[in-house]
Structure 1
Amino acid sequence: MDRDSVPPGPPRPLTDTSRAVWLEREVTGDASVVAALLPACFEAYARVLHPAEDADGGPVRWDAAASWAGGAIHPRVQFRALAALRRGTPDDPAPWDEPPARGTLAAPQLRALCAVLARHTGRADDCLFCIWEGWGWLGGSPATGVLRAESAEPGGPPPSRDPAPPPLRAPPRELLDGPRVRLPWRDHLLLAGPLAAASEIGDRGPGYFFQQSPNVFWPADRAWCAATDIELDSTYVGGSAALVAELLDDPRLETVRASPRDPLGEHGDDVNGG
C-alpha cells in the first residue's frame, strides 16, 4: 500500500488544554451569532451547508431543495425555512428524504473541506480538534469512540480485519476526567494530530465506524478555524479571503459567504420566511 494512502489514525488526546486558550479568549459569549462558534478575527468567513439525503442515502444539495420549494440560497438560509415552502405538486415529491445532519459534516464533504484547508496553512501536520464532551460514544468501559479497543467480545464476532486505523492507546479516564476547553455554552475534549485525522474521529469498534467531524478545529499556526456546533446543520470556517474564495468555488461543497455577526438557528432566515 502506498504510504500516502495509509489513514493517519485518530488524533491523540491532550490533557493540557493550553493550546486552546486563545480560542477560549476569542469567541464571544453571545450564543446567537457565528462569533460564538469561532473567533471574529479572520479576514473572511464561509458556511458549508451539510447535504440532505435522498431515499438511497445520497447527498442532496440545498439548491436542489430551493429549486423544488421556490426558495433562495443566501448567507442566512435555513433548511427548515426552505422545506416549509412548496412550489411543487403532489406528483413532484421533495428531492430529499432526510434533512441535513446536525452536529457533524458527512465524511466526503469533510475530506473535501480538509483538502482545501490544507492548502491554506503551513501546519497541516499539527492541528487541534475540540470534541463536545457530551457525545454518548465518549463514555463506556473500557472506552468508546476514539478510545474504543478493537478486540472481540466473548462469544462475539472476531475483530474487524478492515484497514480502519487503530484506536487511541491513551487510558480513557486520563482524557475523560481531565481539563476541558471551555467555550460558550459547551465544554470540549482536546485532541491533536495531522489535519487528515479529522476524518478518523468517531465511534469505532469491531467491524464498524461512525464518523464524527470535529466540533472545532484549527492548525497550529491559526491560519483558519472551522466549527460545527452540535445543533447546527452547517459548518462555519474563518480564514483568509483566498481560503474562502476557494471554498466558494469548490464543486464538492455547497458553500455561502458568512459573517461573525450572522445569526444562528432556525429563525435567522429573513428571505425564505424563517
Structure 2
Amino acid sequence: MTKAREWTYEGTQLAWLKERLGRPEPGPGHVVSEIVPRGFEAYVRIFHRFEARDGSGRSCTWQASARESGVPFHAELSHWSLRGGESDSTGRSLFYAQDGALDSQSRQALASLLITASGDEAVYFAYDLAALLWTDGAKPLIHHVPLADLGSLRDSMMDLVGDSGPEFWWPNNRAWVVTTDFDLRSTYVGCSKETAELLLADEVLESLPVAAETRVDWDADQTQ
C-alpha cells in the first residue's frame, strides 16, 4: 500500500500565513481569502498575460480577449469565458496564459513596484505545492533574498520545480503578500490601500481590485 506523504508547516516561515487562510462562511468555489490572508486593507488581482504559443513574442490582454468574446472584464472573469481569437495548427487557441506562474514582464513590474513601496529588503519566497509535487522534502522550500533577486532565484529553482512559482512572497513586516497559486492563471496581492493604488495604476500590470470574498476558481465567472 502506498504511504501518503505528510506535509508540515510547523517550524517554517509559512506557518503564520497558512494559519490565516480560509473563509468564514461556506460557499461555492474558492475565494481570495483561501489563498491570501484576511486582514489587509486592499486586494488586487493581476492577470497573467496571454502569450502566443508560436514564439512570435506577441501577447494579448484579458480585457481585449473579453471584449472579443463579448463578455464583461471583471474581477471574477474566468479564462473559460474567453472564446474566439486566433488558433494554432492544432486548433488550440494561439494565446495562452500560464497557470502557476506570473509572466516575466508582469513579474518584473510587480517586483519593481513592491521595491518602490517597501524598499529592496530581503523578502520570503516560498514554494509550497510545487515543492510537494516535485521534490522529496518534508517541508516547503523557502528562501529569504532581496526582491531584485527574484529572477535569479527562479532560475536556481528551475531544475526542481520547473517554471512555477514562487507561490508566496512577503516581506519581514508582512505588509503585503503575493500569491501565485499553482492552479490559477492570475496572481493575487493583499496589501495597503496605497500599495494597491500603485499596482492598479501601473501600465504594465493588467489588474483589478478584488475583495477577500471574490471567487478565484475557474468556475467563478457568472457570465458563462
Please give the residue correspondences for 1:59-78 in structure 2 after superposition, counting only pairs within 5 Å: 59-78=59-78
CA distance 1:57–1:193, change in 2 (3 Å): same
Q: Give the structure-2-normalised TM-score.
A: 0.80
Q: How many angstroms apart in 2 are the aligned matches of 1:16 and 1:260?
A: 25
Q: How many angstroms apart in 2 are the aligned matches of 1:235 and 1:227?
A: 6
Residue number among 193, 197, 200 corresponding to 2:145 in the alignment: 193
CA RMSD of superposed structures (Å): 2.7
Specify every segment of 5 or more residues in structure 1 that has no aligned partner in the other structure, as ranges.
1-14, 87-91, 140-175, 181-187
In the alignment, residue 116 of structure 2 is paired with which amino acid? R
* Residue 135 of structure 1: how far off its partner (Å): 5.1
Residue number among 122, 134, 144 corresponding to 1:126 in the alignment: 122
Secondary structure at the aligned position of 1:191 is classed as: strand
Percent of aligned pairs sharing the same letter? 25
Determine which structure has more spread, i.e. the larger CA radius of gyration: 1
* Residue 117 of structure 1: how far off its partner (Å): 1.1
1:226 to 2:181 alignment: no
* Alignment check: 8 A CA contact 2:86 2:94 kept: no
In the alignment, residue 73 of structure 1 is paired with which amino acid? F
Aligned to 1:162: none
Residue number among 187, 203, 210 corresponding to 2:158 in the alignment: 203
Aligned pairs, number: 203
> Greater helix percent: which structure?
2
* Residue 67 of structure 1: how far off its partner (Å): 2.0
1:188-228 CA deviation, whole Å, 9 max, x = no partner? 322211112222313159xxxx6443101101111100001
CA distance 1:68–1:34, change in 2 (3 Å): same
Q: How many angstroms apart in 2 are the aligned matches of 1:16 and 1:194?
A: 24
Q: How many angstroms apart in 1 are the aligned matches of 2:14 and 2:102?
A: 22
Q: How many angstroms apart in 2 are the aligned matches of 1:126 and 1:134?
A: 22
* Alignment check: 8 A CA contact 2:176 2:191 kept: yes
Please give the residue correspondences for 1:1-274 in structure 2 after superposition, counting only pairs within 5 Å: 17-28=11-22, 32-54=30-52, 55=54, 56-83=56-83, 93=86, 97-122=94-119, 124-134=120-130, 138-139=134-135, 177-178=137-138, 180=139, 188-199=140-151, 200-201=153-154, 202-204=157-159, 211-270=163-222, 272-273=223-224
Q: Give the structure-1-normalised TM-score.
A: 0.66
